[in-house]
């Protein structure tokens, strides 16, 4: 039996600048493990992906809007990176409210690269240890979290699971940890 059989996981992006691999790879891994991945964005308009934060690539159609979903309907949340994407997610009040709802419901949240900016904005990092793209270290510490430089870090503190990774090179470990924690 697949580890995520029967699990429904939201994957939250903005409309712009999501790192292509950090969107595609977790969605594919969730589906390969038997789970349902639901791509959520502020609007039902194409989401622009980037490669290396600088080169436009494919567009992806979201499955639902942030305002149309409820954390109660999901088992976990994944937040891909991409500098522009992460900046737009943390600047969107409805997206930040969705992140907060997952944390308040004690549901696992996984964020990669610049994705943890949404967690900084949501104010949910006190007592948590995480990794990210290195330039977020100061933001994470200033938000009350502890930062480590590891491929993937799983922090179950404060009653909810946080899974984080640094960049697209860490996707294999990131995806495996999501499957392990959510499928647990």
CATH number at residue 160: 3.40.50.880
Residue 33, in any domain of the structure: yes
3 within domain boundaries: no
pLDDT reported for residue 80: 98
Residue 1 has pLDDT above 90, yes or no: no
Please give the average per-residue pLDDT across 70-94, as a whole number. 98
Query: Per the structure, how many domains does the chain have?
Result: 1
Q: Is residue 78 part of a domain?
A: yes
Q: Is residue 2 part of a domain?
A: no
Mean pLDDT of 125-138: 98
- Span 99-127, mean pLDDT? 98
Average pLDDT, the chain: 97
Is 155 catalytic? The answer is no
Q: Distance of CA 144 to CAs 24, 100, 129, 136, 154, Å? A: 30, 16, 9, 13, 17
Q: Bridge partners of 48?
A: 59
What single-letter DSSP state applies at residue 45? S
Confidence of residue 184 (pLDDT cuts 50, 70, 90): confident
- pTM exceeds 0.95 for this model: yes
What local confidence, expressed as pLDDT, does residue 98 receive? 98
Report the pLDDT value the prediction gives residue 2, as an integer from 0 to 100: 60
CA distance 91 to 79: 14
Q: Which residue out of 39, 88, 113, 155 is catalytically annotated?
A: 113
93 pLDDT more than 50: yes
Please indicate, yes or no, if residue 1 is contained in any of the structural domains: no
Active-site option among 39, 88, 114, 155: 114
Domain that holds residue 29: 8-183
C-alpha Rg value of the chain to the nearest Å: 14
């Amino acid at each position: 039996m697949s580890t995520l059989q029967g699990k429904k996981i939201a994957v939250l992006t903005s409309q712009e600048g999501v790192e292509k691999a950090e969107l595609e790879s977790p969605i594919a891994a969730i589906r390969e493990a038997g789970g349902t991945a639901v791509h959520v964005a502020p609007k039902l308009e194409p989401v622009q992906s980037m490669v290396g934060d600088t080169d436009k690539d494919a567009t992806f159609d979201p499955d639902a809007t942030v305002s149309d979903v409820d954390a109660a309907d999901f088992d976990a949340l994944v937040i891909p990176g991409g500098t522009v994407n992460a900046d737009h997610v943390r600047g969107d009040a409805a997206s930040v409210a969705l992140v907060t709802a997952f944390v308040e419901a004690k549901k696992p949240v996984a964020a990669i690269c610049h994705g943890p900016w949404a967690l900084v904005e949501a104010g949910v990092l006190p007592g948590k240890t995480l990794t990210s793209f290195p330039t977020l270290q100061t933001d994470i510490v200033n938000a009350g979290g502890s930062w480590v430089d590891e491929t993937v870090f799983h922090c179950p503190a404060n009653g909810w699971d946080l899974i984080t990774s640094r960049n697209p090179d860490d996707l294999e470990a990131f995806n495996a940890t999501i499957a392990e924690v959510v499928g647990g």
